[in-house]
Every structure is written in C-alpha cells, then in structure tokens.
Homo-oligomer: A and B are copies of this chain.
Amino acid sequence: MGDLREPLRELIDCGLPQALEVMGERWSFMILRASFNGLKHFEEFLSELGIARNILSNRLAKLVDHGILKREPCADDRRKVEYRLTGKGFDLLPAMISLRQWGQKYGAEFVSEDPVLVDAKDRLPIGPVSILAHDGRVLSHEDLWMVRKDDLGKRSDGSIATSGAGTNTGDIIDIEAARKVAAR
C-alpha cells in the first residue's frame, strides 16, 4: 500500500464490522463452507463439523436471521429441515475462498485441499481470488491507495479520471455510482 501514511487515523467506518457481526463468530465460516459443499440438514452439519448440538442450533439460527441461509421444512419428511444458501450467502464465496487459499498457502501442516474448486468450463483449478481495478487489471497491495471520498477521482494533474464501461459481473460495489457520490 503505497504511502497512505498519516492522513487517515480517525476513519473507522466501513463494511467490515457489519460482516464480522455474523461471520466473525466461531463456526460461521465452517458452516458456510459445509453449505457450499452441499450439506443441508442439521445432522449432516453436526457429523461433518464435529460441533456441539446447541452451538450448531444457535449458529444456524443466527445465519438464518441474517439472511445468509434460509430454513425450510422438508416436503417429503416433515421431521427434516433444509438449510440452504441465499444469494447473500453465495456472495460470501470470494471471502471464504480467499481465506481458504491463504490458509492453504501458509498452513503449517501439509494441507491436501481435496476437493479442488475448478472452472466448470474446462475443469482447471481456479486462480487466486484477486483485487481488480475498475477495468479488470489484477492489483496487488502496492497498487492500492486509500483516499477520502472528497478527493476521489482526482489525478495528480487535477483532472478527473473516468472509468470506462464497467464489465464486471456480480458487482459488489457500483463503481460508477460510488464515483459520482464521491465527486459531490
């Protein structure tokens, strides 16, 4: 991260605390991963994760509360309940995978990482989860800068840079809108 240095000591507001409210709890990410892996039922999570019943019950309820999972009684067997990911839940996939990749890269023991996530098209393993520029270039942390919204879009020469047509799928941030808000 270039040289943000001094200016931003007081600025605490961002989405992180929001995200951590649910996903910061112990087991939340493990339950999420199990969901991605296709597990749906209470007893499945229980035996896969080795979590205590009461905690699992509590965590599932919280994940449902926060709209990450949806809980629906099974049609064919009314004892059973299905827990499935919502769109909001699926949107945690990049976070989960990058955490997983980090853990794999630095894991003390030899992590076998099986099964592997692959691109459905060619069945080749996916690359690293990446931070992209507005135009799709992969950025590393040296390419990043922290800027107050007021100063957004200003280039060194004082002109305002404009982003081209955004080709991003699955936008999490509406870049164009963010720039406009910022340019107020």
Contacts and interface: CB of A to CB of B under 8 A. Distances in A.
Count of this chain's copies in the oligomeric assembly: 2
6 contacts: A15-B99, A20-B103, A94-B130, A116-B148, A117-B146, A128-B132
A145 to B, nearest CB: 4
A87 to B, nearest CB: 10
A18 B2 CA distance: 29
A28 to B, nearest CB: 9
A91 to B, nearest CB: 6
A33 interface: yes
For chain A, give the interface size range: 35 or more
B179 A100 contact: no
Interface string A14-28: 111111100110100
Contact of A18 (B104, B114, B123, B149): B104
Given A6-B38, A48-B9, A161-B123, A15 B116 contact: no
B14 A103 contact: yes
Contact of A134 (B119, B146, B149): B119
Given A95-B98, A126-B134, A179-B125, A119 B106 contact: no
